[in-house]
């Protein structure tokens, strides 16, 4: 047996670099500085006596051997993750480190409300958070980079397990002085596709909004797009169109300081389901069920 073996942290850094193809992005995903991640990979190369990564100013390339090491590292990290989960599942619930991805249309509106109480009532829980789109978050879950994901359905989560947190209604947001004078609720056919502004591709709320409209022509519309809900609200406030907002964003005060008004969309599909997702058959399933209960209470 070799006297000196790679550490879990070194393997995590290597896998993160392979995934992101960029030292800065890999370091951010690993919650460390770029210099720390770079040093860890160099130490791994020195330990193994080989070059795993070819570095240049513009691009990061893995050697053929580096690709093989990454594949093996992924398997080892999954085994280590399962070992850690098994041990934690046998102890006190919701204790220790738990890594959770949250999608951008939930994180700024739900987390500030639930985290303070969670920290008071579960002081031994160390919750590590990262914000990702639904697709990227599920990739992180599949590869063991996070333990669970807070996202919105409908969205294809494959064979992962999930627990219901809440239903979140969708509202249409108008400029206050809109001459159309929006009624108490808005039917999908009343929405002007030429004025509808949505999030860019990659955000599941975009698909939820289109589904709520139940109008196929909107899917082909070259509507204005935004990178965040806050951006869309500012565009609406400047009378550039209308947009769709989730109720939790309204409750969190996203319209504060604006002249924007919101009305519920009158459609049975005008909602999304907030869920906590984890890997099926995880030894920490009890922790995730309990965390879901805490999030529902928040």
CB 263 within 8 A of CB 184: yes
Same domain, residue pair 212 and 234 = yes
Residue 222 lies in a domain: yes
- Rounded Cα–Cα distance for residues 4 and 1 (Å): 9
pLDDT at residue 67, as a whole number: 94
CATH code: domain of residue 29: 1.10.10.10
Which tokens belong to 250? 């309204």
Q: Do 19 and 74 meet the contact criterion of CB atoms below 8 Å apart?
A: no
* CB-based contacts of 26-31 (< 8 A; 24+ apart in sequence): 29/130, 29/145, 31/128
User: What is the helix (H) or strand (E) element at residue 108, kind and residue range?
Assistant: helix 107-121
Residues 230 and 177 in one domain: yes
Q: Which two tokens stand for residue 234?
A: 């500012």
The pLDDT, as a whole number, for residue 89 is 58
Looking at 88, 116, 138, the residue that finishes a domain is 88
Contact yes or no for 197/236 (Cβ under 8 A): yes
Q: How far apart are CA 154 and CA 137, in angstroms?
A: 15
User: How does pLDDT run across 55-104, given as a tens digit for each residue?
Assistant: 877 788 999 999 999 999 988 988 887 777 666 656 677 888 899 999 99
* Domain assignment present for 3: no
Q: Are 237 and 259 in contact (CB under 8 A)?
A: yes
pLDDT of 176 reads 80
What is each CA distance from 43 to 4, 80, 122, 224, in whole angstroms? Answer: 11, 20, 37, 48
Q: Domain boundary residue among 29, 56, 88?
A: 88
Residue 257 token pair: 């300081």
CATH number of the domain bearing residue 243: 3.40.190.10
Are residue 173 and residue 261 in the same domain, yes or no? yes
Show the domain range for 112.
Answer: 92-158+282-297
Torsion sign (Cα): 62, 68, 74, 76: negative
2 domain residue, yes or no: no
Do 292 and 154 lie in one domain? The reply is: yes
**In this structure, is residue 12 part of a structural domain?**
yes
- Domain end marker among 42, 71, 88: 88
Overall number of domains in the chain:
3
| Residues 83, 99 within the same domain | no
pLDDT value at residue 83: 77
Does residue 39 belong to any structural domain of this protein? yes
Measured from the Cβ of residue 193, the count of other Cβ atoms closer than 10 Å reads 14
Residue 1 lies in a domain: no
pLDDT, one tens digit for every residue, the chain (298 residues): 456 789 999 999 999 999 888 999 899 888 899 999 999 999 999 999 999 999 877 788 999 999 999 999 988 988 887 777 666 656 677 888 899 999 999 999 999 999 999 999 999 899 999 999 999 999 999 888 899 999 999 999 999 999 999 999 999 998 887 655 567 778 877 877 778 888 876 678 887 877 777 655 555 344 567 778 999 999 999 988 889 999 999 999 999 999 999 999 888 888 999 999 999 988 889 999 999 999 998 7
Domain identity same for 48 and 182 = no
Question: Is 154 found in the same domain as 288?
Answer: yes
* Cα(235)–Cα(244) distance, integer angstroms: 12
d(CA 250, CA 14): 41
Joined together, the tokens standing for residue 232 give 């869309």
Are residues 213 and 193 located together in one domain of the fold?
yes
Rounded Cα distance between 226 and 117, Å, is: 32
- Say whether both 82 and 174 belong to one domain: no
In degrees, rounded to 5, the angle at the alpha carbon of residue 28 between the alpha carbons of residues 42 and 137 is 120
């Amino acid at each position: 047996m070799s006297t000196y073996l790679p550490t879990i942290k070194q393997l995590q850094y290597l896998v993160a670099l392979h995934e992101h193809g960029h030292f800065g992005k890999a370091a951010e995903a690993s919650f460390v500085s770029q210099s720390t991640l770079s040093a860890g990979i160099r130490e791994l190369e020195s330990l193994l006596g080989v070059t795993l990564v070819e570095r240049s100013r513009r691009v990061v390339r893995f050697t053929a051997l580096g690709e093989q090491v990454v594949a093996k590292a992924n398997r080892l990290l999954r085994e280590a993750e399962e070992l850690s989960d098994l041990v934690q599942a046998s102890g006190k619930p919701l204790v220790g480190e738990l890594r959770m991805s949250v999608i951008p249309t939930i994180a700024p509106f739900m987390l500030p409300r639930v985290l303070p109480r969670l920290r008071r009532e579960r002081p031994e829980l160390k919750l590590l958070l990262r914000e990702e789109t639904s697709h990227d978050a599920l990739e992180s879950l599949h590869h063991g980079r996070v333990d669970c994901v807070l996202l919105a359905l409908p969205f294809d989560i494959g064979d992962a397990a999930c627990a219901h947190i809440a239903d979140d209604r969708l509202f249409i947001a108008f400029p206050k002085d809109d001459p159309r004078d929006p009624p108490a609720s808005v039917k999908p056919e009343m929405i002007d596709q030429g004025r509808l502004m949505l999030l860019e591709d990659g955000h599941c709320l975009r698909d939820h909004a289109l589904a709520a409209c139940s109008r196929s022509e909107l899917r082909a519309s070259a509507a204005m797009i935004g990178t965040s809900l806050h951006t869309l609200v500012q565009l609406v406030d400047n009378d550039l169109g209308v947009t769709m907002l989730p109720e939790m964003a309204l409750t969190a005060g996203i319209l504060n300081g604006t002249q924007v008004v919101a009305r519920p969309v009158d459609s049975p599909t005008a909602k999304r389901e907030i869920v906590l997702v984890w890997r099926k058959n995880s030894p920490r399933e009890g922790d995730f069920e309990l965390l879901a209960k805490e999030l529902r209470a928040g």
